[in-house]
Structure 1
Amino acid sequence: MVNHFNEFANLCFERFGNRVKYWITFNNPWAHAKVWHTYDTQWRAKQKGLIGISLSGDWGEPVDISNQKDIEAAERYVQFYLGWFATPIFHGDYPQVMKDFVGKKSGQQGLGTSRLPTFSSQEKSYIKGTCDFLGIGHFTTRYITQKNNPSGRGGSSYFTDRDLAELVDPRWPDPGSEWLYSVPWGFRRLLNFVKTQYGNPMIYVTENGVSEKMLCTELCDDWRIQYYKDYINEMLKDPLTSHMEMVTEIVVPTVCTLSILLSAIFLMFLLRRRN
C-alpha cells in the first residue's frame, strides 16, 4: 500500500503542484514518510511547496497535579494519542513510554516480542524530519488518572496498554456529542506540548469544531460560536510551560487583585479617619 499511495501522491504533485503549495499526506496517518521524500527529491526545488501531515490529539490533564502517577498517566495519554505518529516523524522512533508499556503488556501475554513494531536504524533516519509543518486536529480534553488494566490473552489492546482511565468534569459545558466537551484551556496545553516536544514546528489547525446541542429549524449557532471564541482565544495566549502554571495563572492574579482591593479599602479607611 505504501508504494501505491506514493504513486498516487506523485501523480497529484505532477498534475496540481504548479498551483498547490501546501500538501497534507494524511488526515490521520499510515504511509507518510515515503511521500515526503518523493516530494522532497522530485518536486520541491521546482514547485517550492511544503508537505506535512495532520494528526489528531486530545489533551490529557492529570486528575491530581500533585500525584506523580496521574502526571505520568496524563503524559502517557498524549504520547499514545498524538505521539504515536508525531514522535517518529520528529524524532525517528515511537515514544519511549509506548515501547515500555506495550512491551511490558506483550511480555505478560507470553509473547516473545512486543506488539509494537520496531524501526531499523535505516527506517529511523528515513522517517525522522519528514514534516515541513504539522497539522493538528483537536476537539476536547480528558482528565486522566492511573489505572492498571488487565493484560491477559485476548484482553490487550491499544486502550488497555496505556494503563489509565479517562474522566470528564461535570461542570464542563454540555456537549452536542457524548465525547466532545468544550475545554478551551486543553487546546493551549496541547499546542504548548507540541512546541516543547517537537522543536516548535509550524502548526496548522486542520480540525476543530463542535457538534450542535439541539435540532434546529432555524440558525442557532450560539453554542458553536462560543466554542470557537474560547478555543481561538486560548490559541492566541502565550504558551504555558508546565501544569503548575495553571495554578499560578489562576492564583497569582486573584491574590494580586485581592491585595489591591484590600489596600484600597485600607487607604479609604485612613482617609476617612483623617477627615
Structure 2
Amino acid sequence: MLSLRFLAVAAVFTLSTSSATETDNSTLCFSSNFLFGTASSAYQIEGGWNATNKEPSIWDNFCRDTSNGVPCANVADDFINRYPSDVALMKTDGYDTFRFSISWGRAMSWNETTQRMHGNPEGLAFYHSLIDELLASGIQPVMTLYHWDLPATLQSAFDPPGWLNSAMVDHFVDYATLLFQEFGQDVEYWTTFNEPASFILTGFAFGYGPPKLGNSTTNAYEVTHNVLLSHAAAVEKFHELRDAGTVKSSARISIVINSDWGVPLNESFSEDIAAAERKNQFHLGWFLSPLTTGDYPQVMRERIGDRLPNFTEEQSKQVNGSYDLLMLNYYASYATTDCDSERSETNCSSLTLGWASDLGVDDSRNPDGARHAYGSLMDPNSCESDSGYPPGYLQLIRFMHKHDTSAEILLTENGWCGNETINNPDQLWYLRTHLEQVHKAIYEENIPIIGYTVWGFMDDFEWTNYAGRRGLYFVNFTETTGDIDEYTALPTELARIQRSAGAWYSNVATSGCFQQEEEDKQYLV
C-alpha cells in the first residue's frame, strides 16, 4: 500500500487482530497490508480487437451477428493504447492491485497444421508492457487467464464445440503453461477462470450469450465439468512450475467464483429457508464444493441425478484442494421461495430447461431493505437485476469461509451498477456499506480476508450494452461506441472522469480507513 494517508492513523493493524480496529465510533481501519484494488477484463476494456495479430473471439463474432442485438467492443475503453495513463491514475489513487484478464486470442494464435494454439509474440509483448507499467507504479497485477473470450477457432475446431468438448482441458493447460512461463516471475496472484457460472449459464443454460447452446438438460453441467478439470490441471502445472522456479515461490493461484446470495422470502416458512439454501448451493456450492470436497453439492446430486457428471477418483483428488486461496465476486442478493409455493411469482413451467428448472426457485425479487439499481425491467440496458443489500455480502463470505476455514480469501469483484451520473450517492453508499461488511468479517468474525476489489476501475462494455455504468471513472463513450465498423477513437473521446465514489475509494485505499456515514457528503459535490 502506498504511504499517502488522509487520516492520521498511526497504529498498524494485522489480519490476526480479533477486535474491530476503530479510531473512534465511526471510523473503521484495515491492516496496513490489506489490498485495495480495482478490476477489469480484456474484452470489456482493451479494444484493439484485431491489433497485435489478435484472433477473433466468440464475443467478436457474436456482436457481428446483428440478430443478437449486442454492440461490439472493437474499441471499448481503448485500454490497449491508453494503459500508461490509466495505470498512472491507479498509482495516483493509491491502489494496491489491478485485476485484468489475458485475451487468449491475443496471447496465442491457431496453427492449422498442429491443430493447436501457439504463442503470439506481439500480443504477449503488450501484456509484458502492461505488467511492467503496473510493477513500476507499485501496483500488483492480479492475472485472470480466462474471462469468457474464447478464441473462435477453439469454438469451431471440435465436435462437440468449445467447452462442451473434453479436449479443451489440454488446450487450456497449453495456454496456462505459456502464461506461467511468460509472467511467472512478475505476477503474485493468478486465477484460472473468472465467474465460470456466469458464462456457463448465459451460454449453455439460458442460451442468450455466446455460443447460444442453451435449453439443454445437460450442457451447463458438461461444460462445468470440463472447466473444473481444466482449472485443476492448470493449477497442477502451476505448482509444478513453481516448484521448479519458473513461477516465483510466493505466487498463488485460484479460481474466481461468483454468487449472489439467496435470502428466504419469508423466514417464517421452512420451505423458503430450504429454497434459499438450495439456491446458494446451486450458485456458490456448484463450484466451491468440488474445490473443497472433490464433488458437487449433495442437493445437486439429488435433483439432477445422472445428468450431473461424475468425477473419477483421480479427478476428484485433482480438483479437491486445487487452490492456494479462495476468490469471491458478489453484487446482489435475492429473496427466494420455491417456484411452486403460494408466495411464488414465477411458474415452475416457465423456468428454462436444465439448471434453472433443476434449481426450481423464484428468486426474482430483492430482499426487504435492498437499494435498487438504475433502470427498469423494461429496459434491457439497465441494471435492474442488481441491488444493494450489504448483509448478503457477509452471509456469502461466511458461506465460503465455512467450506475451508483455513483458506485466505481475496474479494475479487464488488460494485454498483448505475448510469452516467458522476456524483452518484448510491454508488458511494454501496461501496461504503459493503466495505463495512468486509471489516466486520475480518475483525469481528476472524475471517482471513486479504483484499477487496471494486469493479470496475472505469466504465466499460457490460456484455450487452454500454449503458450500465460501474466504473470509479466515468468514460465518455460516443454515439458510435459499439458500432460494428468502429475501429478507432479520437484522443478527445473516451476521457476518464473520476466519480465521487472513486474519490472516496481512493482515500480509503491511501489511508486504510473510512468513516461509516458522515463523510459521504464531502465527496458529493
1:34 equivalenced with 2:233 (yes/no): yes
Shift, 1:171, TM fit: 4.4
**Partner residue, 2:360:** 163
**Partner residue, 2:335:** 143
SS of match in other structure, 2:397? helix
**Partner residue, 1:4:** 171
**Partner residue, 2:221:** none
**Partner residue, 2:425:** 222
SS of match in other structure, 1:26? strand
* Alignment partners' CA distance in 2, 1:91 and 1:197: 9
**Partner residue, 1:263:** none
**For residues 34 and 66 of structure 1, do their structure 2 counterparts lie closer, same or farther at Cα, with a shift above 3 Å needed?**
same
List 4+ stretches of structure 1 deviating above 4 A: 149-152
* Alignment partners' CA distance in 2, 1:181 and 1:222: 14
Matching residue's letter, 2:339: K
1:108-167 superposed Cα distances (whole Å, 9 cap, x missing partner): xxxxxx221111111111110001111111001011112247579x96321110121112
* Alignment partners' CA distance in 2, 1:64 and 1:174: 20
* Alignment partners' CA distance in 2, 1:193 and 1:137: 13
**Partner residue, 1:123:** 315
Matching residue's letter, 1:229: R
1:101 equivalenced with 2:303 (yes/no): yes
* TM-score for the superposition, normalised by structure 2: 0.41
Match of 1:134 among 326, 341, 356: 326
SS of match in other structure, 1:80? helix
Shift, 1:63, TM fit: 1.8
Indicate conservation of the 8 Å contact 2:369/2:389, yes or no.
no
Structure 2 residue ranges without an equivalent (≥5): 1-167, 197-226, 341-346, 375-382, 447-525
* Alignment partners' CA distance in 2, 1:236 and 1:168: 24
**Partner residue, 1:77:** 279
* Alignment partners' CA distance in 2, 1:147 and 1:174: 23
Larger Cα-atom Rg: 1
Indicate conservation of the 8 Å contact 1:146/1:164, yes or no.
yes
**Partner residue, 2:413:** 207
Matching residue's letter, 2:425: D
**Partner residue, 2:267:** 65
* Alignment partners' CA distance in 2, 1:53 and 1:171: 31
Indicate conservation of the 8 Å contact 1:44/1:50, yes or no.
no
Indicate conservation of the 8 Å contact 2:291/2:319, yes or no.
yes
Across the aligned residues of Structure 1 and Structure 2, the Cα RMSD in angstroms comes to 2.1
1:179 equivalenced with 2:381 (yes/no): no
Indicate conservation of the 8 Å contact 2:265/2:367, yes or no.
no
Shift, 1:72, TM fit: 1.4
1:187-243 superposed Cα distances (whole Å, 9 cap, x missing partner): 00000111112334211111111111x433xx2232211100000001111349xxx
Indicate conservation of the 8 Å contact 2:333/2:367, yes or no.
no
* Alignment partners' CA distance in 2, 1:143 and 1:10: 42
Matching residue's letter, 1:163: G
* Alignment partners' CA distance in 2, 1:155 and 1:21: 40
Indicate conservation of the 8 Å contact 2:265/2:272, yes or no.
yes
Matched positions, count: 226
* Alignment partners' CA distance in 2, 1:64 and 1:45: 54
Matching residue's letter, 1:222: P
1:197 equivalenced with 2:403 (yes/no): yes
* Alignment partners' CA distance in 1, 2:304 and 2:332: 25
**For residues 97 and 151 of structure 1, do their structure 2 counterparts lie closer, same or farther at Cα, with a shift above 3 Å needed?**
farther
Indicate conservation of the 8 Å contact 1:87/1:198, yes or no.
no
Indicate conservation of the 8 Å contact 1:189/1:239, yes or no.
no
**Partner residue, 1:43:** 242
**Partner residue, 2:472:** none
**Partner residue, 1:20:** 187
Higher relative contact order (CA 8 A, sep 6+): 2
Identity of aligned residues (%): 31
**For residues 239 and 165 of structure 1, do their structure 2 counterparts lie closer, same or farther at Cα, with a shift above 3 Å needed?**
farther
**For residues 94 and 157 of structure 1, do their structure 2 counterparts lie closer, same or farther at Cα, with a shift above 3 Å needed?**
same
Match of 1:188 among 372, 380, 394: 394
Matching residue's letter, 1:159: A
* Alignment partners' CA distance in 2, 1:179 and 1:200: 33
Shift, 1:66, TM fit: 3.5
* Alignment partners' CA distance in 2, 1:173 and 1:125: 42
SS of match in other structure, 2:371? coil
**For residues 142 and 17 of structure 1, do their structure 2 counterparts lie closer, same or farther at Cα, with a shift above 3 Å needed?**
same
* TM-score for the superposition, normalised by structure 1: 0.77
Alignment of 1:192-271 (within 5 A): 192-212=398-418, 214-216=419-421, 219-237=422-440, 238-239=444-445
* Alignment partners' CA distance in 2, 1:129 and 1:36: 10
**For residues 44 and 137 of structure 1, do their structure 2 counterparts lie closer, same or farther at Cα, with a shift above 3 Å needed?**
farther
Matching residue's letter, 1:34: A
Matching residue's letter, 1:144: T
SS of match in other structure, 1:32? helix
* Alignment partners' CA distance in 1, 2:386 and 2:349: 29
**For residues 141 and 32 of structure 1, do their structure 2 counterparts lie closer, same or farther at Cα, with a shift above 3 Å needed?**
same
**Partner residue, 1:271:** none
* Alignment partners' CA distance in 1, 2:368 and 2:258: 24
